[in-house]
Amino acid sequence: MNLKSMVQIIRYENFPKKEERVIKRKRINQLILILLLLFLFNFTGQASYQQEKINLNFKEMDLIEAFRILAETAEMNIATDSSIEGKITLYLDNVSFLEAMDILTKTNGLSYRIIHNTIFVAPTEKIKKNYEAKLTRVFKLKNSDPEKIKENLDHLIDDGAIKINQRTNSLIITTYESNFDQIEETIAALDYSRRQIALQVRFEEISHTGLKELGVNWELSGEGKTGDSGSSTTPNLKIGNLNFDYSISLEALETSGVANVLANPKITTIEGEEANINIGDEIPILTNKRTSEDGDEVSQEIEFKNIGIDLKITPKITDEDSIFIDLQPEITTFLEWVEINGSRYPTVSIKKVGTKVKVNNGETLAIGGLIQEKEYETMSKVPLLGDLPILGKLFSQKNFENEKRELIIFITPKIINDNELESSTEKQREKESIENNKKENISLKKELDDKEELLLVSS
């Protein structure tokens, strides 16, 4: 037998036979199965302790001792933070271990985590920092401005951040995992489909006589404030309502000359969003003038000041389909020009009022108390003769009178329902379709006319 053959015999003799390898593998599998069963038994045993109903009665008990007793009921270890102190009085009947832990920790500003067979109890911030991972989630908003939603979420984000993606109307939120339940609830409550409100607004100057004839019920109450700058009287805000179609009555007053409509706009806004109506003119105001060393004027800076009425309206719909209206009217009146250092500046009177009032859907609200004194032109004439051309001036007379009139703002809010919105959209589509057809017909007619003209020329 040579050396090579001897080496081969030794190798084969030392190597386990196939049957021995199979037996060893079976033993290893059996050991793994036993360990797995022991783990499952321990886990299910622990779970059963946690689900078992218990009764607790703590009276002026040390808080750490209360946690220790509670942990014993579930046969678990417990580790409490060194900052935990104080006493607890608590009576719980027929609750599970986890329910008792939730109550005991939350009532004391604490949190806990269970790792294997040990409960760790500490202030909430420490638990989050030591045992929670931070997550980043994206919330795509359907109906709301992300800036406004962010304002309501900032207090829920501790040691995290909220970023806004305006392009996708989304919030990118990074914070601890346990914060996201409340974040989701808050977003769901705020990001709802808001309804639209049509606002029919009418600005009317009415004399005191005409106002009595109109019959406004000035008994509504509102929460508000008034303010004034300039030489005009401080306005005393009046709020009333009309339960009838006031437009016919106003037209009659306008015909008799005791009322004058300034504007009658109609706008639509989303509930909770501010609508703004501005009626009036802009006058230029020199705000800065630069001169050279020789005194020559080099440049001027001019701003434009609104003179007239500025009305801000913010409506909100209640659960009963009533409407809360936040009103901020401001009236700016030009008084005169004054000269300062060779430049002319306007002096103005500004009247501001603010109020919040509740009205029914479709009800007309009247805001009064804004008195204005103006010069009005009236004409008296002899019937028939006063209407004659040229000679009529001999039988008529113009009079100028200063009269105090009250500015009344009529506001009729109406909630736009989904079916009305769909109907309005459909009508708009039909209108656009008709307009497009008209344009196509005109274009086709022009094309035919051009071809006919070419044929006539060629012939």
* Mean pLDDT for the stretch of residues 240-246: 74
Q: What is the DSSP string of 40-77?
A: HHHHHHHHHHHHS-EEEEEEEEEHHHHHHHHHHHTT-E
Compute the distance between CA of residue 340 and CA of residue 121 in angstroms, rounded to an integer: 74
Which range (112-126, 402-416, 430-444) has the least confidence? 430-444
User: Which residues contact residue 221 at a Cβ distance below 8 angstroms, ignoring those fewer than 6 apart?
Assistant: 239, 357
Percent of the chain with pLDDT over 90: 22
* Domain ranges, ordered by start, for the chain: 53-129, 133-193, 200-219+244-275+318-330+351-419
Q: How far is CA 11 from the centre of its chain?
A: 83
- Tokens representing 225? 């404030």
Domain 133-193: CATH architecture, name and number where available? 2-Layer Sandwich (3.30)
pLDDT value of position 110: 92
CATH fold of 53-129 reads Phage tail protein beta-alpha-beta fold (3.55.50)
Predicted confidence (pLDDT) at residue 441 exceeds the cutoff of 70: no
* Mean pLDDT for the stretch of residues 38-43: 50
> What is the end-to-end Cα distance of the chain in Å, rounded?
124
- Tokens representing 399? 């009079």
- Tokens representing 9? 């015999």
- What is the 3-state secondary structure of 248-288? HHHHHHHHHCCEEEEECCEEEEECCCCEEEEEEEEEEEEEE
Compute the distance between CA of residue 241 and CA of residue 32 in angstroms, rounded to an integer: 83
Helix H or strand E encompassing 183: helix 180-190
Closest of 327, 308, 404, 333 to residue 367, by C-alpha: 327
Contact 365, 359 (CB under 8 A): yes
Contact 319, 325 (CB under 8 A): no
Q: How far is CA 75 from the centre of its chain?
A: 51
Rounded to two decimals, the pTM is 0.54
Strand partners, 377: 400
pLDDT, tens only, 289-330: 666 566 565 566 777 778 888 899 999 998 888 999 998 888
Q: How far apart, in Å, are the Cα atoms of 233 and each of 60, 222, 279, 394, 397?
A: 66, 21, 21, 40, 33
442 by Cβ neighbours in 10 Å (0-12 / 13-18 / 19+) ranks as: exposed
Q: How far apart, in Å, are the Cα atoms of 248 and each of 99, 245, 330?
A: 68, 7, 27
Q: Please list the helix, strand and coil fractions of the chain in percent, rounded to the nearest 5, in that order.
A: 35, 45, 20
Q: How far apart, in Å, are the Cα atoms of 192 and each of 106, 141, 274?
A: 31, 9, 18
Q: Which residue is listed with tokens 């639509």?
A: 268
Strand partners, 18: none
Q: Which residue is listed with tokens 């009317």?
A: 204
pLDDT value of position 218: 74
DSSP, res 233:
P
Contact 127, 115 (CB under 8 A): no
pLDDT value of position 236: 62
pLDDT, tens only, 174-225: 998 888 999 999 999 988 888 999 999 999 888 877 777 777 777 665 554 4
Give the strands of the sheet with 110-115, arranged side by side.
77-80, 118-123, 110-115
Strand partners, 278: 310
Contact 357, 337 (CB under 8 A): no
pLDDT value of position 9: 40
Q: How far is CA 299 from the centre of its chain?
A: 43
The dihedral sign for the CA sequence 208, 213, 216, 217: positive
Contact 197, 414 (CB under 8 A): yes
